[in-house]
Structure 1
Amino acid sequence: MPQTASCPGNLVQYASGLRATGDWTLLHHNRLRKTIGHQRHGHGPDTRELDLEELGELDTSGAVLLVELMGPERILDVATWAPEQPPERHALLVAVARAMPDSTLLPHRTRFAALGALGDIGRNIENLGRQQTQLLGFIGLTLASLASSLLKPRRWRLTALVAHIQQTGLNAIPIVALLTFLVGAVVAFLGATVLRDFGATIFTVNLVTYSFLREFGVLLAAIMLAGRTASAFTAQIGSMKANEEIDALRALGLSTMELLVLPRVLAMMISLPILAFIGMLSGIAGGAMVCLLALDISLIQFLDILQRDIPLRHFLVGLAKAPIFAFLIAVIGCLEGFKASGSAQSVGEHTTSSVVQSIFMVILIDALAAMFFMGMGW
């Protein structure tokens, strides 16, 4: 029979295992934890054999100690090996076992560092798969909302679209132009340094124009927007969710996809091709400046080589990737904002995640596109 409420809890050894006696409550938590620590690091009987017949009062803190002592798998089967306990006590122990993380429940697993590392890898792969599944689902939801709203002009949010175009496109022109101009100058300088040994410095013009028309122009603009705009989208939507503004919109019967997601996605798809074009021009201008000052290649000669040797398809290949990059950046930024919870820490974590995911996806898609165009001979 359970003992009285005034009896302090204890862990007693007997012939075939351990016996929990007295009250396992918050009042006796510290002492019981020390007792469990001695038992775990000592050479006592197997903790899988535990007798609960003399257990007195039990609260959540005591249930946590029992789960730490025996492990979650054994506690989940408590109704089988401790049928004398009431059903509400079984329910408490099972709920605590399911709620506690495995890393605190089973400390003996940490003895094998290799197994722990494999477990971490498995969890990371599982989280990555779940993340990509959510992204694919959100892309489908975005495309479905876009298709339904295109046929209903009254539901277009033109004011929000123009405002986001200004935020994502117009305000980003100076930083994109400056960045690509400097990178173009660096690429031309490095190319001239290598080509000078072969007496082929004139091909620095081809190097700069090829690289910026096909890759650097759109890639640098997309990376800039991934860090600048995707983070802003996540922070804006995450803050709205923390302030329960999104719940208010849904309570009013308004579509959050049409109000929050579609204007941002369309604005990004309009802005990034323009920024990519500006980045191409700025990068080529930076290369032309280096050619003029360091290689004695005049601007007229630079433009003549550009017109004669560089086909138009390189420009079209680079510009064709911009809408795809823009769509992915905007969708990832909005999705991470919706995934944020009500805390400031969660908003910050998902903002960081949106930037990392956007840059990773941009580089991944760019690499796949480069291999595809190379295989097609474009």
Structure 2
Amino acid sequence: MNVHPAAETAQLHVEHEKTDTPDIIVGGPWTLYHARTAEDLLEDVSLPGAQSVTIDIGGVTELDTAGAWLIHRLRAGLEFRGARVELSNVDERFAPLFTEIENHVPRQWQPRRSRYSVLTTLEAIGRQADTIFKDAVAVVSILGAFGIGLTAAVLNPRRLRVISILANFDRACRGAVPIVALMSFLIGLIIAQQGGFYLRQFGAETFVVDLVGVLVLREMGVLLTAIMVAGRSGSAYTAEIGSMKMREEIDALKVLGLEPVEILVIPRLIALMLALPLLTIVANLAALCGAALVSWVYMAIPPETFLQRLHEAVSIEELMVGLAKGPFMALIIGLIACVEGLKVGGSAESLGEKTTSSVVKAIFMVIVVDGLFAIFYSAMGI
């Protein structure tokens, strides 16, 4: 039996502790001020093997939410050990506290189990279609604002933020040259090695120059560059604009009477549309250098022969076909990155989600645009 008598302090007394039906007598003030003492008292209560417990709180003189929560915790702990617990002599002044605590106790989390149904699937498809439609509207809206802002800047060149364009161009172009050149060089190596391996079986390994030249200049150079730019610059744009959205800097621009699209979006889109074709040229040169190295080492095709064969296999038209895709792919990447950045909420989780979404959507749309260009060039006979 534990007795804790004290004036003006929380009290707890256990009667018939050795039986299956002990009683707990609670008295004194149970408030936030006395919570430390009350917690020490609760630690002494174990009652192993108790089947039915009565908690008598008739002697409680003062009670607030903290004290009621401690008594509720005592009751819950005993019930968890298998005892049936009942509160007795509850003063009508204190009854609402226990009622509110019972109503606000967090329930145990249970995983949501949903059965498969046709309606659920159709609902999910509808939600995705609605999201895609809203994203398309947002992209078209930003594209229209970009067109209006660019037209205004052309009519009034002083509105064009040249310094911002150059700063973004430096980060998007010069900063990406090493990784783009390295990746393209390795891709050129792989294409030439694999192409030479299979063409050698037919005694046509010299045609690997035609294969690499056409494939790199028309498709692989610009496509790989756009994918790397989407992962590098696109994610950076989303993170930058999203961070500004989280810190309410975009709202501050609107309060100052400035147009966020003109300040944040237009310079980035112009810089990206100028940078991607230049990076494509770097990627083409790096891929051809890698292919020439493999052709020389693996297939004994000297660099002079490689360049001569390349000159015969490809023309300036092949180069322009690939470069023409660059500004359009850059525009798609920039639009998606800016739209996703403007959709960021107020949490870091939202910023990470939108950054990931920006990269995935940009890469997907880059491949779609490349396929549309392929169909267009085929129809035009180019």
Please report the TM-score for the alignment, with normalisation by the length of structure 1.
0.71
* Amino acid paired to 2:128: N
Q: Which runs of 5+ in 1 are unaligned?
A: 1-22, 35-103
* Amino acid paired to 1:377: G
1:330 aligned partner: 334
CA distance in 2, matches of 1:185, 1:162: 33
Shift of residue 309 of structure 1?
A: 2.2
Correspondence 1:367 to 2:375: no
Q: Name the SS of the counterpart of 1:293 in structure 2.
A: helix
1:63-212 to 2 correspondences below 5 Å: 110-212=114-216
* Amino acid paired to 1:29: N
Which of 347, 353, 370 lines up with 1:349 in the alignment? 353
Residue by residue, what CA displacement relative to the aligned partner does 1:253-272 show, whole Å, maximum 9, x if unpaired? 11211211111001001110
Correspondence 1:319 to 2:314: no
1:278 aligned partner: 282
Shift of residue 126 of structure 1?
A: 2.0
1:217 aligned partner: 221
CA distance in 2, matches of 1:216, 1:145: 33
CA distance in 2, matches of 1:211, 1:26: 72
CA distance in 1, matches of 2:130, 2:253: 33
Greater helix content: 1
2:259 aligned partner: 255
Shift of residue 121 of structure 1?
A: 2.1
- Between the aligned residues of both structures, percent identity stands at 43
CA distance in 1, matches of 2:128, 2:271: 33
Correspondence 1:29 to 2:100: no
Q: Which 10-residue stretch deviates more, 134-143 or 318-327? A: 134-143
1:279-318 to 2 correspondences below 5 Å: 279-318=283-322
Shift of residue 28 of structure 1?
A: 5.1
CA distance in 2, matches of 1:312, 1:153: 34
CA distance in 1, matches of 2:100, 2:326: 60
1:50-65 to 2 correspondences below 5 Å: none
* Amino acid paired to 1:151: L
CA distance in 2, matches of 1:119, 1:242: 31
Query: Is the radius of gyration larger for structure 1 or structure 2?
Result: 2
Residue by residue, what CA displacement relative to the aligned partner does 1:130-187 show, whole Å, maximum 9, x if unpaired? 2112212221121111111221111111111111011000000000000000000000
Structure 1 pair 206–233 and aligned structure 2 pair: CA distance change class (3 A): same
Q: CA RMSD in A?
A: 2.2
Q: Name the SS of the counterpart of 1:137 in structure 2.
A: helix
CA distance in 2, matches of 1:133, 1:154: 30
Q: How many residues get paired?
A: 284
Q: Which 10-residue stretch deviates more, 161-170 or 147-156? A: 147-156
Q: Name the SS of the counterpart of 1:254 in structure 2.
A: coil
Correspondence 1:243 to 2:247: yes
Structure 1 pair 292–118 and aligned structure 2 pair: CA distance change class (3 A): same
CA distance in 1, matches of 2:352, 2:116: 34
Shift of residue 332 of structure 1?
A: 1.1
CA distance in 1, matches of 2:117, 2:273: 47
Query: Quick check: 2:273–2:327 contact (8 Å CA) kept in 1?
Result: yes
Query: Quick check: 2:213–2:313 contact (8 Å CA) kept in 1?
Result: no
Query: Quick check: 2:152–2:159 contact (8 Å CA) kept in 1?
Result: no
Shift of residue 122 of structure 1?
A: 2.3
CA distance in 1, matches of 2:362, 2:262: 22
Query: Quick check: 2:226–2:330 contact (8 Å CA) kept in 1?
Result: yes
Shift of residue 26 of structure 1?
A: 5.4
Which of 206, 227, 232 lines up with 1:228 in the alignment? 232
Structure 1 pair 257–28 and aligned structure 2 pair: CA distance change class (3 A): same
* Amino acid paired to 2:132: L
Structure 1 pair 30–177 and aligned structure 2 pair: CA distance change class (3 A): same
* Amino acid paired to 2:150: L
1:89 aligned partner: none
Q: Which runs of 5+ in 2 are unaligned?
A: 1-95
